Amino acid sequence: NAGVMQNPRHLVRRRGQEARLRCSPMKGHSHVYWYRQLPEEGLKFMVYLQKENIIDESGMPKERFSAEFPKEGPSILRIQQVVRGDSAAYFCASSPPSTGAILNEQFFGPGTRLTVL
Amino acid sequence: AQTVTQSQPEMSVQEAETVTLSCTYDTSESNYYLFWYKQPPSRQMILVIRQEAYKQQNATENRFSVNFQKAAKSFSLKISDSQLGDTAMYFCAFMKRRKTSGSRLTFGEGTQLTVNP
């Protein structure tokens, strides 16, 4: 069972361009979370999605950022018109469907390091 | 809202010795989980140990153990017989317990641990 996959691992964009980050959850996992890690900081929650639904986007900036998790295919985090402050590592985590009392552990991908020039 | 505080930005320890990393948190929730994650230079997030808040017994995983003080909202990590491979950033994290959906992780700012030969 492959782990959480993220691509690309490194992404360089110029200011004003668009960045698309992809996350393929582990097999059987229907919950996806995106976190951002700015340099020298901890991870900050951005958005939580289930298949075709955004459950919690309270950590995501209101402008320029969007996320989706379609019925088929990976979850996508999209950043439009990137600025230098978007430079960070973006981590995706996945977990299996909720099963009551059992802990839904989140398994992390290797992250995508976005650099905005 | 939950907050997680790690008051030690950096720590160092000699190989084979014991070190304790501190973490405090603030929440009004009664059912939750606490975690310690390790982030080595590869930046991969690796789960070290977890604790269910309703369990009084402290979790242990080989050389890693926690001291969970629920009333004090304290959750420290003890690493025994430190090894060079333990050198990493360590993050304390909080997660609400939900029966029917997933839940975000709230991370502290991290403690950079260096194990010296």
* Minimum Cα–Cα distance from B97: chain A residue: A103
| pLDDT tens, position by position, B29-81 | 888 999 999 999 988 999 999 999 988 899 999 999 999 999 999 999 999 99
Task: State the Cα angle at B56 between B64 and B54, rounded to 5°.
Answer: 110
| pLDDT tens, position by position, A65-108 | 999 999 999 999 999 999 999 999 999 999 987 665 567 789 99
Question: Cis (ω within 30 of 0) for the bond into A96?
Answer: no
pLDDT band at A28 (very low <50, low <70, confident <90, very high): confident
pLDDT at A39 over 90: no
Secondary structure of residue B86 in the 3-state scheme? helix
- The answer for B111, left when phi > 0, alpha when psi is -120 to 50, beta otherwise, is beta
A90 contacts on B by Cβ (under 8 Å): none
Q: Say how many C-beta atoms besides its own lie within 10 A of residue A66's C-beta.
A: 15
Q: Min CA distance, A33 vs chain B (Å)?
A: 7
Residue whose token pair is 């939900």: B98
A93 contacts on B by Cβ (under 8 Å): 45, 105
Phi, then psi, of B86 in degrees rounded to 5: -80, -10
The pLDDT assigned to A104 comes to 73
Q: Min CA distance, B54 vs chain A (Å)?
A: 12
Q: What is the mean pLDDT of residues A53-70?
A: 94
Q: Min CA distance, B111 vs chain A (Å)?
A: 10
Interchain CB distance below 8 Å, B102 and A48: yes
Whether chain B has a CB inside 8 Å of the CB on A43: the answer is yes
pLDDT band at B102 (very low <50, low <70, confident <90, very high): confident
The pLDDT assigned to B116 comes to 96
The partner residue sitting opposite A48, judged by closest CB among B43, B97, B104, is B104
The pLDDT assigned to B97 comes to 83
